[in-house]
Structure 1
């Protein structure tokens, strides 16, 4: 036995440096734990710039790697499996460096929300605010893979790096499709990334020239990557990423089984409120107006995923309450938890009703309104007893008039929590209840719905134009999904009766 073997020496034989460059495709919320500005402030560096901690990115990458069926690779790359105690023979140090991700040209914003009851009235003490990084900010993610001698015993260095690159391409694919997201509220449209360029630098640490190059190499150097080491993945039809798509990515390791796409028109006005800065009236600023992509009164109107999710869940709960003859709307909400996530706020390991906290299986994308424009309106508060105006109660609001949207809803794979029956059809049916009523103008979204705001319509007859996984949804499929949802609701009634 030589010296290296006797001491378990396992030298580094290669380094693979990866840089992913792109922009935020949606708002991002990476909290610092501080509450100076809002209930959840964005984490900032010493210079006051927002960033994504390497630990947050590493956690998301590891979780996604396991979710696409590559748990063994995740353990081998990121370190010891969670279920083993420290000191086990299979203990291993992570062989990937995940750097903090710099966010450039970031514009900060504030999103507020409130939990609504059955009658769309605010629940007491349920108002909250979170600080976000607005979409379209630029970022650079940096990863460094360490290749060691023990791995090379079975493969040469090129094969080792190619195996790691295949994993990188799966991450790029996850970011591109929206399956891989970062930060809070990712099930409500936040944390989506658009990768534009992938840069790859390889170092063979056993070759002196390559080793010396690595010693002098710097990520920040404008010439750190050669032109041939930079891949434009937005083209998609050429290069290494395209090759991966036609092999491993052909069938895809997608977590989503379904994607609904629903085209809608806004025949009247929409108002999802955003208020003046710090809730103080400023010159030439309205008291409140429609939320936009820049957080102000310009550019395009924005419908948050949380607003769509809240409207859908509230509407579906009412329908289930009637079909299943449940004694309360809250009971119906509880029955939806396996699909939409835990509804009751919790500070422990369950939701307050003895149920484990459940993550939503449904992702509601943030939706940008195409067309239309702001419509400033001045209004007076009216005294309900005299019918006259209230002195000093003149205010200005800016709803959004006209336009159209493409609503996207993703459904993740899963099994029904209470049994073995596949629940995907049930969720599709529940979503169709809300989608069809949205097209019919029965289900409004946003504020001031009592005066006609937030009403949508389909481009043709109710039920037309709905796509499921990119294909038009047939009448037979609609009927099948709707019936499956009704049977599930009836099963809920049977369970209540038996109980």
Structure 2
């Protein structure tokens, strides 16, 4: 750090302040847990100590924004410390000029419970002692966000700071930033629908007085102040000129595929959230004020990982590509790597549920077990039933894209069941339509479409051979 910055690192002379407020809404269930398991639930939500409301900490928001800006600017770009301050291991780093405030939910806390379990890849059964439960915030929960950007008189990169802040907040606005835990398994998706921006020039006496009289303690949006759906428009209306010169350098491959149910689907719910009598009901989650059946991202990711391991094992090669794709935790060496594959949660539309009675049979006598009668309520589909699977692979390699295409093929042809009780024919999907996009920094976005036309598969003619090239690269890399 330059000496002049060291001399004044504890005595910043703030000349301008920008205050931003936004109304954030959760689109999917969100796990805002502290990681403590002192209660009856393994992962409990963080609550406000005074009210029965959920707490969204400023550290969680800032961490998500920082990671988004890092991906947007490219992993090999300069560090984003200009806006978010130094890293934890930097002893002489600078303080962040951006203040991110804690946020409390507008309404009382509404939670739903989910169960999770680790599956053995060899046997396909649950691993002993690996079951856990977690508490989630319902979709539709609202938070009022507040940010404050401090601009020092010595800062010559004011436009860069404002531009990076606009990029980060645009990610929130467009729903490209997720919050909380298990973000890459469909939890924590959100968006901001309204913005308010104030610009104070503290070198001007009127603006200085206005900032002193500003209601800093107000936690929500100001009802008498104009709101804007776009953060760029809100900045411009506040008299702030944006200079967003940073190019989007995110490298992604995404799949959006529409399926219908070829057989009943059952993903066991940890709680009887619908109040039904059956012993086992399908997993449901709150969407638009209603309980709707969902295909959870954790279930789908587990199924995809197991099939990917099977494909690689069939070829007799190493599982490194699977670990790089789905993440891993090495307990012996304490090494861990997050998944680069984002698997979103899917809502099932136009469904029907029926109660089925079943009984356990003694394999020795062929008779029924005493007291082993139980009932289930799976999801049944029709010609109108639809669910959309969304997958996003970050920093992809061609071989990894090829493996994803093989997994999509198995789902499409009903060869890869999802959920429980696949041994009795449940959980099979039938592909209808899929759109795949490849975004490479500095290049035009490539798009492929696949649709089912009776017994024939229609593939877009635009560079269709590239899909086959991805699979060939996977086969060649694994074989190597």
Aligned residue in 2 for 1:275: 270
Is 1:213 the counterpart of 2:186? The answer is: no
> SS of 1:110's equivalent?
strand
Q: Could you list the per-position Cα deviations for residues 385-435 of structure 1 after superposition, in whole angstroms to 9, with x for gaps in the alignment? A: 333333322222211111211111001015xxxxxxxxx211111011111
> SS of 1:406's equivalent?
strand
Aligned residue in 2 for 1:42: 45
Aligned residue in 1 for 2:256: 261
Cα 1:175/1:222, change in 2 over 3 Å: closer
Q: Could you list the per-position Cα deviations for residues 270-328 of structure 1 after superposition, in whole angstroms to 9, with x for gaps in the alignment? A: 111103369xxx97432221111239x963211111111111111111111111x25xx
Cα 1:255/1:134, change in 2 over 3 Å: farther
| CA–CA distance in structure 1, aligned partners of residues 111 and 97 of structure 2 | 34
Cα 1:427/1:173, change in 2 over 3 Å: farther
Contact 2:174 2:191 in 1 (8 A): no
Q: Could you list the per-position Cα deviations for residues 40-79 of structure 1 after superposition, in whole angstroms to 9, with x for gaps in the alignment? A: 1111110232111112222222233233338657312332
Equivalent position to 1:78, from 84, 94, 106? 84
> SS of 1:166's equivalent?
helix
Equivalent position to 1:441, from 414, 419, 443? 414
Contiguous gaps of at least 5 residues in structure 1: 351-356, 415-423, 492-499
**Aligned pairs for 1:221-232 within 5 A:** 224=222, 226-228=224-226, 230-232=227-229
> SS of 2:29's equivalent?
coil
Is 1:109 the counterpart of 2:118? The answer is: no
TM-score of the superposed pair, with normalisation by structure 2? 0.82
Contact 1:179 1:254 in 2 (8 A): no
> SS of 2:285's equivalent?
coil
Cα 1:489/1:347, change in 2 over 3 Å: closer
1:247: Cα distance to partner? 8.4
Cα 1:298/1:396, change in 2 over 3 Å: farther
More strand by share: 2
| CA–CA distance in structure 1, aligned partners of residues 219 and 112 of structure 2 | 32
Q: Could you list the per-position Cα deviations for residues 320-375 of structure 1 after superposition, in whole angstroms to 9, with x for gaps in the alignment? A: 1111x25xxxx53x541112111x5637532xxxxxx2211110111111211222
1:438: Cα distance to partner? 0.6
Is 1:346 the counterpart of 2:352? The answer is: no
Is 1:482 the counterpart of 2:435? The answer is: no
> SS of 1:479's equivalent?
helix
1:163: Cα distance to partner? 4.4
| CA–CA distance in structure 2, aligned partners of residues 336 and 208 of structure 1 | 61
Aligned residue in 1 for 2:392: 410
Cα 1:53/1:209, change in 2 over 3 Å: same
Contiguous gaps of at least 5 residues in structure 2: 439-446, 451-459
More helix by share: 1
Cα 1:82/1:286, change in 2 over 3 Å: same
TM-score of the superposed pair, with normalisation by structure 1? 0.79
Equivalent position to 1:190, from 162, 187, 192? 187
1:268: Cα distance to partner? 2.1
| CA–CA distance in structure 1, aligned partners of residues 123 and 236 of structure 2 | 50
Cα 1:272/1:312, change in 2 over 3 Å: same
Across the two proteins, how many residue pairs are aligned to each other? 439
> SS of 2:130's equivalent?
strand
| CA–CA distance in structure 1, aligned partners of residues 85 and 476 of structure 2 | 46
1:226: Cα distance to partner? 4.9
Aligned residue in 2 for 1:418: none
**Aligned pairs for 1:69-468 within 5 A:** 69=73, 74-82=80-88, 84-85=90-91, 88=92, 91-105=93-107, 106-117=109-120, 118-151=122-155, 154=156, 160=158, 163-176=160-173, 179-219=176-216, 220=218, 224=222, 226-228=224-226, 230-233=227-230, 248=244, 253=248, 255-276=250-271, 284-294=276-286, 299-323=291-315, 325-326=316-317, 332=319, 334-342=320-328, 344=329, 346=331, 349-350=334-335, 357-402=336-381, 403-413=385-395, 424-459=397-432, 465-468=434-437
Superposed CA RMSD = 3.2
| CA–CA distance in structure 1, aligned partners of residues 285 and 13 of structure 2 | 50
Cα 1:364/1:22, change in 2 over 3 Å: same
Aligned residue in 1 for 2:65: 61
Cα 1:81/1:313, change in 2 over 3 Å: closer
Aligned residue in 2 for 1:472: 449
Cα 1:132/1:256, change in 2 over 3 Å: farther
Q: Which moved more, 1:123-132 or 1:100-109?
A: 100-109
Equivalent position to 2:32, from 21, 30, 33? 30
| CA–CA distance in structure 2, aligned partners of residues 232 and 133 of structure 1 | 24
Contact 2:251 2:394 in 1 (8 A): yes
Q: Could you list the per-position Cα deviations for residues 179-199 of structure 1 after superposition, in whole angstroms to 9, with x for gaps in the alignment? A: 432221111111221121121
| CA–CA distance in structure 2, aligned partners of residues 301 and 171 of structure 1 | 32
